Amino acid sequence: MAMQATLENELGVGASSKCALGTWVFSVAGALLAIPVGIKRKSLAPLVFFGTTGTMLDIIMGISACEREHAERQMKLLEAQNAAETSLGEKEIDS
């Protein structure tokens, strides 16, 4: 069980859902902008437009942030693997 949790931490399994759900700013901003515009125009169209646009921006920003974090995590794992292989190779040469 502990080995599986360690593997999940190394691979970042489950981290993407936390990362993607952390963005809500554009959705709220879109709704707050749409309310006065919708009241002035006496229509729900601004709420639909600004709400969906804000949500779309949140999704795009969340996915790009998750991809960036995943790439950084992969680079750290690759660097650690290369360092381990280098140190192992040096020990074999010394022996």
Place of tokens 């949140």: 58
Residue 14 has pLDDT above 60, yes or no: no
The pLDDT score that the predictor gives to residue 75 is 95
Q: Which of 3-12, 21-30, 51-60 has the lowest mean pLDDT?
A: 3-12
| Rounded CA separation 62/45 (Å) | 25
Average pLDDT of the residues of the chain:
81
Confidence (pTM) = 0.64
Give the mean model confidence (pLDDT) for residues 25-54: 94
Region 21-33 average pLDDT:
87
HEC-encoded secondary structure of 25-85: HHHHHHHHHHHHHHHHHCCCHHHHHHHHHHHHHHHHHHHHHHHHHHHHHHHHHHHHHHHHH
User: Nearest Cα to 16, choosing from 55, 74, 56, 78?
Assistant: 74
Closest C-alpha among 68, 88, 92, 70 to residue 80: 88
